[in-house]
A and B are shown apart, each in its own frame.
Chain A
Amino acid sequence: MRPFRALLDRPVSATILVVAMLAVTAFAVSHYPRSIVAFMLFQASILLLYFARMPAWLKALLTAAALGGLMPILGSINAYYMEIAIQVGIFVALALGLNIVVGLAGLLDLGYVAFFAVGAYSWGIFGSPQANQIFGGSFFPLSPAWFFLFLLVGVGVTAGAGILLGLPVLRLHGDYLAIVTLGFGEVIRVLANNLDKPINFTNGPKGITPISRPPIFFDPLLKAVGIDASPNVIYPLYLYFLVLLIVGVTVLVNRRLEDSHIGRAWEAIREDQTAAQAMGVPLVRMKLMAFACGASFAGAVGVLFSAKQIFINPESFTFMESIGVLAMVILGGMGSIPGAILGATVVTVLNLQVLKGLSLWINDLRNQGVEIFGYSLANLPTQFEPAKYERMVFGLILVLMMIFRPQGILPARRRVRELAEAPPPTEVV
């Protein structure tokens, strides 16, 4: 591990290593599109890129090339990878939003998925014929172009919902706050489930469909270049880039907030709210701001989720989802942006790929009648499929993490600043 680390610490060797890893793994994926191992190695090489020490511009360039170039290409070879990438993106944005509330401000929110639902339903209702049930007539669905406006509407509405949740719980903290947010999450889900009477807002458990997708406004451009792809090919890529854009904005906003007087005030509240207030931090304002900011990311990504799925129903917004996102934040490292990103990726990939892949593999072995120590796997009952133990494995990983690395995979690191030399203050770089 140590020579490897040393390799990553020198810019030249690190660049060569990372580029080679990316190239080899991408090549491997393109040649073995069904190999989960190859795809995971590709993901690992992106992680390697994060750890490599190299000039910031080069890192940005390589990241853009990997996520904006290689990933879509691999995704068009195996469409399932694109789906995974989009889901990872959605959960990364969710984890980053929750990271503000839980990681920075220390307000334990167990109902975070409610905001995701609010965002999803805001486009789901108006981007489908569902709104006609409320207003009558046949004006809806809105034209797909409204989708982009609704990304902003989603942000606004969920920020409002965040404040709405924040107001009654301002006086609470710790366990009490957690319980109230849990209740809030359930309230939103139950509302979605039951608001089909007397006025049909949400269509109840049957869910809403079909929800418009964003318009392919660049279609003429594609035709001009001579690409005539069917929407089925374009949409996964299109949604992927939209997710990428949202994640990019989320990361940017997160970083700017974190590294400012607002972020410091949030952390101060997390550390000791009485002292924070005594030092001049307005508790109410800052807490509401944390709730609103965290919620708004979920709103934007919720709008996108509904467009991606075409169909939404309350089942997508259960308590388990809230816990899942919280687990991502904790697993990655509370209050850490890279941690939240990695946590979301690891958990999503684990659920979608690793455990399912293991099941497939064991199935293969069973079908081939492979024997281990004289025991034929053909006799292995189907109950032993790893996919059936998804939650158990996930839970085990959480338990082990909390025992051996409670601070998370990539814990928040304090920024070390070079201060100007002692007075008279002079600029020293």
Chain B
Amino acid sequence: MSALLEVRGVTKRFGGLTALNAVDFDLEEGHIASIIGPNGAGKTTFFNVFTGIYLPDEGAVIFRGAPVLGRRPDQITALGICRTFQNIRLFGNMTAIENVLVGMHARVPLAFWDVLSRNPRWRREERGLWERGAEVLGVVGLREKANELARNLPYGEQRRLELARALASQPALLLLDEPTAGMTQGEARSMMALLRRLVGERGLSVLLIEHNMRVVMEVSDRVTVLDYGEKIAEGQPVEVQRNPRVIEAYLGRKRWAPGAGTGAAHA
């Protein structure tokens, strides 16, 4: 069985800095996978590669058998990959439901003329859009806030609205860049419960970047660890947790016992 997303040997350099070094990665359909790693490990760069924001220097990304690289971000969204941002990037002066409606843009089959003439086709589609928009808001529990300006929502709700906006594009693969950053444990837990439900009900696949280890270990089917742009470990959460190279990447080597660290890393 081929994977939903296949990443082969992706390398991205920024001048002299190699942000990603020949990274391979596979994601099965219906899985939640996490990417972890210390700050500057290349996690967000990795995301930006397959959402069309960066073009890598080498490598290939295949999504459902179709090449992703070289496409524009909006085309990739139409293909079925949608993302959220590490620093929330909502359309602040638009209402919650309008944010969600923008997320549906790629799925709107209307032409310019339909909009100008407001023909029955437009009416039908537009009504359908608003209904689906309200439904998506309901999924993340923001239905009552539909007419609030996005920038007036509290932080946790903004995170959920961003998720709703991404869901609105009907993605097969959802990329979440630190979805629980700045959340309390309670909020983070309900966010993860929501994600699990989405994966269960909609057959969605999810790729997470996350710093909150408790969240990662609880929710992920697989965990990939990046450090200095290289994949240093991959596997089930428990395996990765015990992997000495991972521990080293996060905690550093024991300086007072030279040699011991290196030995442990290869153990």
Contacts and interface: CB of A to CB of B under 8 A. Distances in A.
Contact of B82 (A256, A264, A276, A278): A278
B54 interface: no
Interface string A243-281: 000000000010011001110110110011011111111
Contact of B51 (A260, A272, A278, A415): A278
B147 A416 contact: yes
A268 B91 contact: yes
A420 B143 CA distance: 10
B74 interface: yes
Contacts of B138: 422-423
B131 A279 contact: no
B134 A420 contact: yes
A253 to B, nearest CB: 6
Contacts of A257: 115-116
A257 B108 CA distance: 14
Contacts of A268: 91, 94, 102, 105
A280 B94 contact: no
Contacts of A282: 72, 74-75
Among B89, B146, B166, residue most surrounded by chain A Cβ atoms (within 10 Å): B89
Given A262-B112, A267-B91, A271-B91, A419 B102 contact: no
Contacts of A260: 110, 115, 122, 126
Contact of B74 (A262, A280, A414): A280
A274 B53 contact: yes
A283 B90 CA distance: 17
A204 to B, nearest CB: 38
A278 B89 CA distance: 10
A417 interface: yes
Contacts of B51: 278
Contact of A417 (B90, B97, B107, B115): B97
Contacts of B116: 253, 256-257
B94 A264 contact: yes
Contacts of B98: 264, 267, 414
A423 B130 contact: no
Contacts of A272: 89-91
Contacts of B106: 279-281
- Chain B contact-residue range equals 35 or more
B73 interface: yes
B101 interface: yes
Interface in A370-429: 414-417, 419-420, 422-423, 425
* A253, A275, A282, A414 pick with most chain B CB within 10 angstroms: A275
A33 to B, nearest CB: 41
B254 interface: no
B97 A419 contact: yes
A275 B72 CA distance: 13
A394 B136 CA distance: 48
B103 interface: yes
A289 B149 contact: no
Counting chain B CB atoms within 10 Å of each CB, the highest count among A253, A261, A289, A414 belongs to A261
A271 B134 contact: no
B6 to A, nearest CB: 21
Residue among A256, A260, A274 having the largest count of chain B Cβ atoms under 10 Å: A260
A417 B146 contact: yes
B130 A419 contact: yes
B129 interface: yes
B130 A417 contact: yes
A282 B112 CA distance: 14
Contacts of B107: 280
A279 B135 contact: no
A265 B92 contact: no
22 contacts: A256-B115, A260-B110, A260-B115, A264-B102, A265-B102, A267-B91, A267-B94, A268-B102, A271-B94, A275-B91, A276-B102, A278-B53, A278-B74, A278-B85, A279-B82, A279-B102, A280-B78, A280-B105, A280-B169, A414-B98, A415-B95, A420-B131
Given A261-B101, A279-B166, A281-B105, 6 more contacts: A261-B110, A275-B85, A278-B53, A280-B78, A417-B146, A420-B131
Interface of A: 253, 256-257, 260-262, 264-265, 267-268, 271-272, 274-283, 289, 414-417, 419-420, 422-423, 425
Interface of B: 51, 53, 72-75, 77-78, 82-83, 85, 89-95, 97-98, 101-108, 110, 112, 115-116, 118, 122, 126, 129-131, 134-135, 138, 143, 146-147, 149, 165-166, 169
